[in-house]
């Protein structure tokens, strides 16, 4: 998961111990999860695609036939990027196997992939921060975004600017949106598919990030928390300067692809993140801990783009997050702690979507 996303999901005890090897059965055959509670009326035939370790941020290829995701599993001390068919078969590692990676995504037509990686700074997993300043999560300045062929070959950098560059998604015309700390704050930028013409879209102090294009490429959903001058902003910027971040409350926002017409969608006063789009372009799907008084259990929610019609989709008592619809809207992929054999185990699930 991206550093920011992992910092949030760790609130739900998602993050495991880096370097711990987990038993990983073959994923050539999927396993049907336990029947969902009746409340999960939108989900049918839930299937588990990965088994053991930490697996998350699975995103569909444009034709809906494959998924790209990140995984810490046997043979990988920290997250690497993999692809697989939507039945869990034909698993392939497409990142270098060195450094830490995050946030894979397919180019239009599935002709290429991208992901963020720290491998240029060293083959080892970057160190985890201490907790001398409280619970914090790393925002590795060594993350850069890379483009590669679908099998991971022909790897080339799209970003080389100092500072965290990650959390990239791509519009149908190839425009890339991503999160960067290159200007001293978490902000959202766009660049062309070859890394050229970088433009900053957000200008609000605070942790803006996780941009996700609408299916027509005209709008971007993202997470954010505008911070006014004061103690919280001062602390946030001081931590960020040291490449760390303290998980916080976040809301879901929308803006046009050029950064104009920003609107706040949610007002939940919770940690809401990982928004993506329903194919009807009228609704967003995202993860939030709004229903848990202890703010540790995350579930998946739908909401209209105007902020009305909030509806809970999952009712699992652990973590559900990183939802994405298939291009045709018939399936939903997500990460979850359900069925976990060990604390921190997170797997990728897919379900048929019932309207």
What are 236-279's pLDDT values in tens digits? 999 999 999 998 899 999 999 999 999 999 999 999 999 999 99
153: buried, middle or exposed (CB in 10 Å: 19+, 13-18, 0-12)?
A: exposed
Distance CA(240)–CA(235), nearest Å, equals 9
121: buried, middle or exposed (CB in 10 Å: 19+, 13-18, 0-12)?
A: middle
How much is the pLDDT for 1? 59
Cβ atoms of 83 and 22 closer than 8 Å: no
* Secondary structure of residue 11 in the 3-state scheme: helix
Question: Residue 10 — pLDDT band, cuts 50, 70, 90?
Answer: low
Cβ atoms of 300 and 320 closer than 8 Å: yes
Q: Is the pLDDT of residue 286 over 60?
A: yes
Cβ atoms of 27 and 52 closer than 8 Å: no
Beta strands 299-304; 283-288: pairing state = antiparallel
Residue range 168-201, pLDDT digits in tens: 999 999 999 999 999 999 999 999 999 999 999 9
Exposure string of 77-89, with b = 16+ CB inside 10 Å and e = fewer, is bbbbbbbbbbebe
Question: Residue 20 — pLDDT band, cuts 50, 70, 90?
Answer: very low
Mean pLDDT of all residues belonging to the chain: 91
The percent of residues above 70 in pLDDT, for the chain, comes to 90
Q: Is the pLDDT of residue 148 over 70?
A: yes
Range 336-349 average pLDDT:
95
Shortest CA distance to 119 belongs to which of 139, 145, 138?
A: 145
Cβ atoms of 274 and 286 closer than 8 Å: yes
Distance CA(348)–CA(14), nearest Å, equals 13
Range 131-153 average pLDDT:
95
Residues with Cβ < 8 Å from 52, sequence gap 6 or more? Answer: 22, 23, 24, 25, 73, 74, 341, 342, 345, 347
Range 94-113 average pLDDT:
97
How much is the pLDDT for 222? 98
Specify the higher pLDDT residue, 335 or 29. Answer: 335
How much is the pLDDT for 288? 98
Phi, psi of 6 (to 5 degrees): -70, -35
Angle in degrees, CA 110, 112, 116, rounded to 5? 120
How much is the pLDDT for 293? 85
Range 85-100 average pLDDT:
98
How much is the pLDDT for 326? 98
Distance CA(22)–CA(333), nearest Å, equals 22
* Secondary structure of residue 178 in the 3-state scheme: strand
Which helix (H) or strand (E) is 32 found in, with range? strand 31-32
How much is the pLDDT for 260? 98
**Cα distances (angstroms) measured from residue 149 to each of 72, 114, 319:** 22, 9, 32
Range 51-77 average pLDDT:
95
Distance CA(145)–CA(166), nearest Å, equals 6
**Cα distances (angstroms) measured from residue 83 to each of 12, 48, 299:** 26, 15, 25
Task: Provide the phi-psi class of 309: left if phi over 0, else alpha when psi is between -120 and 50, else beta.
Answer: left
How much is the pLDDT for 131? 85
Question: Residue 74 — pLDDT band, cuts 50, 70, 90?
Answer: confident
Residues with Cβ < 8 Å from 16, sequence gap 6 or more? Answer: 22, 53, 54, 72, 342, 343, 344, 345
How much is the pLDDT for 38? 78
Point out which residues pair with 331 in neighbouring strands.
352
Poorest-pLDDT segment among 39-48, 68-77, 259-268: 68-77
Cβ atoms of 56 and 2 closer than 8 Å: no
Question: Residue 76 — pLDDT band, cuts 50, 70, 90?
Answer: confident
Range 344-352 average pLDDT:
97
How much is the pLDDT for 133? 86
């Amino acid at each position: 998961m991206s550093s920011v996303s992992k910092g949030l999901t760790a609130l739900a005890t998602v993050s495991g111990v880096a370097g711990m090897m987990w038993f990983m059965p073959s994923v050539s055959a999927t396993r049907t999860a336990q029947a969902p509670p009746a409340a999960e009326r939108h989900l049918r035939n839930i299937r588990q695609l990965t088994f053991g370790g930490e697996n998350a941020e699975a995103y569909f290829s444009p034709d809906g036939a494959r998924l790209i995701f990140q995984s810490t599993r046997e043979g990988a001390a920290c997250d690497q990027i993999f692809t697989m068919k939507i039945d869990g078969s034909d698993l392939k590692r497409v990142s270098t196997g060195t450094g830490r990676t995050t946030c894979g995504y397919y180019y239009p037509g599935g002709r290429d992939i991208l992901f963020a990686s720290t491998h240029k700074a060293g083959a080892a997993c970057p160190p985890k921060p201490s907790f001398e300043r409280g619970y914090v999560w790393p925002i590795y300045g060594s993350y850069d975004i890379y483009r590669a062929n679908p099998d991971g070959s022909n790897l080339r950098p799209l970003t080389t600017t100092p500072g965290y560059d990650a959390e990239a998604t791509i519009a149908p015309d190839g425009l890339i949106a991503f999160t960067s700390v290159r200007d001293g704050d978490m902000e959202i930028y766009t660049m062309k598919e070859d890394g050229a013409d970088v433009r900053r879209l957000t200008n609000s102090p605070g942790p803006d990030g996780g941009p996700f294009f609408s299916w027509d490429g005209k709008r971007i959903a993202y997470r954010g928390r505008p911070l006014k001058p004061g103690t919280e902003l001062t602390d946030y910027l001081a931590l960020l300067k040291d490449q760390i971040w303290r998980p916080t409350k976040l809301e879901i926002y929308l803006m046009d692809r050029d950064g104009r017409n920003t609107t706040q969608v949610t007002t939940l006063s919770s940690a809401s993140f990982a928004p993506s789009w329903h194919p009807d372009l009228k609704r967003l799907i995202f993860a939030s801990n709004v229903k848990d008084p202890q703010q540790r259990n995350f579930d998946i929610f739908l909401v209209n783009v105007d902020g009305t019609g909030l509806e809970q989709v999952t009712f699992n008592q652990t973590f559900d997050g990183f939802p994405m619809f298939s291009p045709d809207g018939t399936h939903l992929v997500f990460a979850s702690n359900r069925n976990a054999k060990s604390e921190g185990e997170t797997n990728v699930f897919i379900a048929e979507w019932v309207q």
